[in-house]
Amino acid sequence: MKRTINKTQFILQYPKLPAADVVAKAKQKGFKLSEKYVYNIRAKAKAQGGKPRKPGRPPSKVNGSPGARGKQQSLSDSSNNEQAFFDLVLALGLTRSGELIDKVRETAAAL
């Protein structure tokens, strides 16, 4: 018989069930667990992000890779884009910024 979930996933399915009951359910499913193991898995899951993950769900990306929350600026977030543009114009100066905007206009007109 092939298992579809591992011991950790099984334990995290029952976050509020007493450890002794989780051990009993695990025994019925063919897992060998101890209450201490249940407590350790729950503590580790809590330390890694508060709520235990749902079984089978991949961990979230929080290392700054694309898709990580707060790391990628949305094009629809106009207030942040406008502020970034404003800061860039101040950094480059009005003359250079005007030259670059003219280039953008020329490129857009050519399309």
Per-residue buried b or exposed e for 45-84, using 16+ beta carbons within 10 Å of the residue's own CB = beeeeeebeeeeeeeeeeeeeeeeeeeeeeeeeeeeeeee
Q: Is the pTM of this model over 0.75?
A: no
User: Are 55 and 12 contacting, i.e. CB atoms less than 8 angstroms apart?
Assistant: yes
| Closest-CA residue to 15 (of 36, 43, 34, 47) | 43
Q: What pLDDT does 83 receive?
A: 81
Consecutive 10-residue averages of pLDDT for the chain (111 residues)? 76 90 91 91 80 59 51 59 81 86 90 86
Residue located via tokens 């018989």:
1
